Structure 1
């Protein structure tokens, strides 16, 4: 049975919250939170290399498109861990360019003398669960430390800030899309290499967008709950309804629930653990612009990838849907959606 990482993180969060809830003195509470954080850091340090080695072995010897879910990470992150181990690197800072995912992963792993333990997927999942739990303990403890500072700064009210910048998101999306199209227009490669390159571009843009979305919503919620800023959604590049949905998620409210009155929002946000981000006014427009650009790059790369899928599925290549799904590292449904229009036209 696959580990429920969301439930695991929630359990760790509840453990820290329960332990610190009984500590009323702010100085003692800070010391207790620091102790939890430091213990979690030690656990993470102890597990880091073993987790990396086991995940890399599993990814290289027993890869499937959904394997990353067993370890609570993203697909591209799993590939990067595997390539770090395969090439004997310590991290992406050593890459001149991202290394290619080998066509025969097991052969490459054997050549690099990477061990293949019995039940490696199960072993990797167990240590990944311990790692995620320790990480959640650390992050929750850090949130309590930040909350102490934030409570003093805000003193129950809103921080006054100047008007926010409002980027031209239409122009940002158009430029990002054009950039991808220009890059691929310069490639003089066959459809197989085009498919691999486009699939990697989709993965990179998707991961970038996912990370930026978390940062964007955190900055947006900080501004909307804790500052005098108005029309925050304009600077986030979303609608008023989209921001309200993000606010409800942050406050842990049902989807159809009404938001608290503006005067009560700072207290409600603190109670829900929403972080105050000091430089959010400066960061939000930049993060939102980067997010929209990543989404536009992803959409453009998907168009190119899906066209390459259709070319390789048709004669004279006649690749099967299973082979195409393996080539792009996605579920067969993605391939089905790409080839179905061509087959029914």
Structure 2
């Protein structure tokens, strides 16, 4: 049975909140939160290498498209951990460019001398759960540490910020798409290598977009709830209704519930745990541009990947749907929709 990581993280957060709720003195609470943070950090340090080695072994010897879910991480993150171990690198910062995922993972792992323990997936999942639990405790403790500073800073109401920059997002998207198309146009490889390169580009852009969306919305909500900024959605590249939906999510409201009036928003946001972000007025336009560029790269890479899938599925290559699903690391249903776009799967 796969670990419910969302529930695990919520449990860790609730435990930290309960531990600190009884500490009323702000100085004592800060000290208690620092102790929890430091203990969690020590456990993360102790687990880090073993977790990476076990996940790498599982990914290389027993890969399936949904394997990353067993470890509470994203697909590309699992691949990066595996490639760190396979290439003997200490971390992603050492890469000149992301290394390619080997076609024969088990062979590459054996050649590199990576062990394949019995029940490696179960072992990796067990240590991954401990790691995610410690990480959630650390993050919850850090939130408590930040809360005191935010409460003091924002006690008087909204923070004054200058007018926000508004970027040309259509131009941002066009540049990002054209860059992907130019890169692949220059790539002189066979159809199989092209498919794998495109699939990796899809994964990278998808992960980048997901991470940037969280950062963009955090900056946008900080500005809309805690500052004097107006027309925040213009700088975020979304509609007014898109901002309202982001505010509802941040305040944990349902779609039919109204966002509080502007005068009441700072207090409501603090109660909901929305963070105040320093220099969000400078960060938002950059994050929004990066997010829109990632979305455009993702769409362009999907076009190239899907074209390569159809080419390899047709004669003379005649790859099966199973082979194609394995090559792009996606479910068979996705391959079915690509090769038969006019039929429902």
What value does the CA root-mean-square deviation take over the aligned residues? 1.2
Cross-structure match for 1:260: 260
Cross-structure match for 2:272: 272
Which string of whole-angstrom CA distances, capped at 9 and with x for unpartnered residues, describes residues 7-59 of structure 1?
Answer: 11111111111111111111111111111111110110111011001100000
Which string of whole-angstrom CA distances, capped at 9 and with x for unpartnered residues, describes residues 295-314 of structure 1?
Answer: 00000000000001011111
SS at match of 1:341: coil
SS at match of 1:225: helix
Cross-structure match for 1:45: 45
2:154 matched to 1:154? yes
Cross-structure match for 1:183: 183
Cross-structure match for 1:109: 109
CA distance 1:310–1:31, shift in 2 (3 Å) = same
- Report if the CA contact (8 A) 2:40-2:135 is conserved: yes
Cross-structure match for 1:63: 63
- Report if the CA contact (8 A) 1:219-1:277 is conserved: yes
Cross-structure match for 2:3: 3
Distance (whole Å) between structure 1 residues aligned to residue 14 and residue 181 of structure 2: 47
Unmatched tracts of structure 1, length 5 or more: none
Cross-structure match for 2:23: 23
CA distance 1:110–1:17, shift in 2 (3 Å) = same
Q: CA deviation at 1:203?
A: 0.8
Which string of whole-angstrom CA distances, capped at 9 and with x for unpartnered residues, describes residues 308-343 of structure 1?
Answer: 101111111111111001000111121111110378
TM-score by length of 1: 0.97
Q: CA deviation at 1:102?
A: 1.1
* More displaced stretch, 11-20 vs 46-55: 11-20
* More displaced stretch, 302-311 vs 15-24: 15-24
Distance (whole Å) between structure 1 residues aligned to residue 54 and residue 149 of structure 2: 39
* More displaced stretch, 15-24 vs 76-85: 15-24
Which string of whole-angstrom CA distances, capped at 9 and with x for unpartnered residues, describes residues 191-214 of structure 1?
Answer: 211111111111111111111111
Cross-structure match for 1:133: 133
Q: CA deviation at 1:70?
A: 0.5
SS at match of 1:65: coil
Distance (whole Å) between structure 1 residues aligned to residue 156 and residue 316 of structure 2: 69
- Report if the CA contact (8 A) 1:222-1:274 is conserved: yes
Which string of whole-angstrom CA distances, capped at 9 and with x for unpartnered residues, describes residues 82-135 of structure 1?
Answer: 011111111122223222211111111111111111111011111111111111
CA distance 1:219–1:14, shift in 2 (3 Å) = same
Distance (whole Å) between structure 2 residues aligned to residue 30 and residue 327 of structure 1: 50
- Report if the CA contact (8 A) 1:61-1:105 is conserved: yes
* More displaced stretch, 245-254 vs 63-72: 245-254
Q: CA deviation at 1:178?
A: 0.7
Q: CA deviation at 1:189?
A: 2.0
Q: How does 1:193-204 map to 2 (within 5 A)?
A: 193-204=193-204
Distance (whole Å) between structure 1 residues aligned to residue 24 and residue 157 of structure 2: 22
Cross-structure match for 1:205: 205
Cross-structure match for 1:74: 74
CA distance 1:190–1:204, shift in 2 (3 Å) = same
Distance (whole Å) between structure 1 residues aligned to residue 227 and residue 93 of structure 2: 37
Which string of whole-angstrom CA distances, capped at 9 and with x for unpartnered residues, describes residues 123-153 of structure 1?
Answer: 1111111111111111111111111111111
Distance (whole Å) between structure 2 residues aligned to residue 42 and residue 154 of structure 1: 32
- Report if the CA contact (8 A) 2:34-2:141 is conserved: yes
- Report if the CA contact (8 A) 2:191-2:308 is conserved: yes
* More displaced stretch, 56-65 vs 332-341: 332-341
- Report if the CA contact (8 A) 1:310-1:342 is conserved: no
- Report if the CA contact (8 A) 1:156-1:267 is conserved: no
Distance (whole Å) between structure 2 residues aligned to residue 181 and residue 104 of structure 1: 28
Distance (whole Å) between structure 2 residues aligned to residue 40 and residue 156 of structure 1: 34
- Report if the CA contact (8 A) 2:337-2:343 is conserved: no
